[in-house]
Structure 1
Amino acid sequence: MEPDWQDRAFHHHIATLIDALDGPDFWTRLTRVIERFLAFDNWVALVFIRDRAPLVCAESPMPDGTVDLLFRAYLEGMYQLDPFYINACERPRAGLVTLAEVAPDNFRMTDYYQRYFKSNIIGDEVQFNLPLDARRTLIISLGAKHHYTERDIAMFAMFAPWVMALMRQRLPYEPLAASQAADGDEGAPQSEAAAASEAAPGARDVDYASRFEAVARQSGRTALTAREIEVVRQSLSGFSTRAIAERLEISFETVRAHKKHIYAKLGVSSQSELFALFYEPNGREGA
């Protein structure tokens, strides 16, 4: 059977992407090809790094050309509550990842969802993930104001093989993904782009435990134990008390007891106050 014009056009678009692999506009051109077939509203290419802030490869511009303050807040700390980031760090795997697969059971009740996701992503999100090693995963995220349909997800899954292949071939030209500095090798040379990202606010927030300890110390509050810190992070990420118990392999009542002690130590009375303390500078100062 002879290929129709749509087949010919598709092959042409793939060819242009291969030609763009070593160019600065690769990510933009990749998203333009995908959006010929699927509607989405924003995108970003990142390197997720366990216990470190993500590194930005490229991002969709704001309509008015201004800085996306919500995305800056994400890079400065809220990424620690991102279900995609958590999943990539805990269970790295290559391929298409959907929000439905990774979102905790109480995700839509969290302050992270209400104050960041709903405002910035708005409706739904999928990612193409390419693990680079045990700590790093190269991802491209596609966010939409609407919820992706079953057909949309099926199309994304159909595109995954060639998207992943192109991401893999892009690696030699992507200084952020290839930088050995992201692996903690202080003696390795660092690209200018990677150095700039390292200097960005929040880039030296090594992990959530360090963040929580620093906030408690600065505000004169009683320090949390390692287990209490883990309960806080999972709770703020959207895991219910029962889900936290299952993940940490402790009893439901033990998790409730941890939460009671956490609130008492930090002088807070709600999840929103807990979120503000650790992830909103104004909430921290006013506490």
Structure 2
Amino acid sequence: MTKKTDVLDDFKQAMFDLVHRLLPVDGIRFFIYVPWAQLLQDSASNERLDAMLRQYTETWWSVDPMHPSRYEGQDTVVVTNSMLASDAEWRESEIYQGFYRPNGYFHNCDVFFRQQGRIVAVLSLVRCEPDQAFSADEVAELNKIQPFLEYSLEAIHVSSRIISRTGLSAQFHLTARELDVVEIAVTGLSNKAMCRHLNVSLPTLRSHVQSIYAKVGVRSSSELIAKLASIQMT
């Protein structure tokens, strides 16, 4: 494990501890968000939530009204399900019926972190009980701490992704779109899920993948992952 990763892990644990001191929650999730990709760079506060995240990555992100892609170009910092729908409407929603309810959670609150206007990470808080909605005061408190957390995140972690992409581009002459594909491919997502995240057809994805293989000098996704293992894809 690299020193950079150690620092990021410390940052995430400190952020989880801070949230627990500020307000009661039943679970906390933090993930790095790359446009077109829900990367498997999640940290969760318990095993049940960790398993839940894998379901989200493959399927439920596309129907989530709180997915960060829906807030690009906006100034929204904190959003909760109660801000988007009444409890009755939320109970009838596809995301609640298929995702939150089976996993035992009712309320969700997301805090967005941006760099140069683009959302790059999300802190997600969940509660089990329907009568424990995130209050206006709690949302205000999260809005207060968000700028400091965003600054800290950028200093510790976000810039490393830019360095990684720049390094890959220089070393293998990958295009920006090919870099997007690589960032998703190394997570192990299925081709079907990758197509949904990238909003491309399977033939187009295959064309990108074959170009990447040729440039990197590999013949399979496992070889690609192994060759890039020493490069921190963040």
**Into which bin does the TM-score normalised by the smaller protein fall?**
0.5 to 0.7
Count matched residues. 185
Task: Tell me which residue corresponds to 1:45.
Answer: 30
Match of 2:194 among 181, 187, 205: 205
Residue 148 of structure 1, CA deviation: 6.7
Match of 1:117 among 66, 81, 100: 100
Matches within 5 A, 1:1-287: 22=7, 24-62=9-47, 68-85=50-67, 88-102=70-84, 107-120=90-103, 122-133=105-116, 135-147=118-130, 152-174=135-157, 178-180=160-162, 187=169, 198-202=186-190, 205-207=194-196, 210=199
Residue 153 of structure 1, CA deviation: 3.3
Provide TM-score, normalisation by structure 1: 0.51
CA 1:47/1:151 → structure 2, altered by over 3 Å: closer, same or farther? Answer: closer
CA 1:79/1:158 → structure 2, altered by over 3 Å: closer, same or farther? Answer: same
Equivalents in 1 of 2:164, 2:131: separation in Å?
A: 33
**Deviation digits for residues 112-145 of structure 1 (CA, Å, limit 9, x no counterpart):** 3212122336110111112224553321011111
Equivalents in 2 of 1:122, 1:77: separation in Å?
A: 17
Residue 83 of structure 1, CA deviation: 1.3
1:78 maps to amino acid: W
Equivalents in 1 of 2:197, 2:134: separation in Å?
A: 37
Contact 2:109 2:126 (8 Å CA) reproduced: yes
CA 1:71/1:150 → structure 2, altered by over 3 Å: closer, same or farther? Answer: closer
Residue 44 of structure 1, CA deviation: 0.9
- Structure 2 counterpart SS, 1:205: helix
Provide TM-score, normalisation by structure 2: 0.61
- Structure 1 counterpart SS, 2:47: coil
Equivalents in 2 of 1:34, 1:97: separation in Å?
A: 16
Equivalents in 2 of 1:109, 1:61: separation in Å?
A: 27
Residue 72 of structure 1, CA deviation: 0.8
Contact 1:125 1:141 (8 Å CA) reproduced: yes
Residue 106 of structure 1, CA deviation: 5.5
Unaligned runs of 5+ in 2: 1-5, 172-181, 203-234
Unaligned runs of 5+ in 1: 1-20, 215-287
**Deviation digits for residues 209-258 of structure 1 (CA, Å, limit 9, x no counterpart):** 847x65xxxxxxxxxxxxxxxxxxxxxxxxxxxxxxxxxxxxxxxxxxxx
2:15 maps to amino acid: L
Contact 1:38 1:152 (8 Å CA) reproduced: no
CA 1:133/1:108 → structure 2, altered by over 3 Å: closer, same or farther? Answer: farther
Residue 85 of structure 1, CA deviation: 0.9
Equivalents in 1 of 2:85, 2:65: separation in Å?
A: 6
- Structure 1 counterpart SS, 2:57: helix
Task: Output the aligned Cα RMSD.
Answer: 3.9
- Structure 1 counterpart SS, 2:78: strand
Residue 50 of structure 1, CA deviation: 3.0
- Structure 1 counterpart SS, 2:22: coil
CA 1:23/1:54 → structure 2, altered by over 3 Å: closer, same or farther? Answer: closer
CA 1:71/1:149 → structure 2, altered by over 3 Å: closer, same or farther? Answer: closer
Residue 77 of structure 1, CA deviation: 3.1
Contact 1:127 1:141 (8 Å CA) reproduced: yes
Equivalents in 1 of 2:82, 2:167: separation in Å?
A: 36
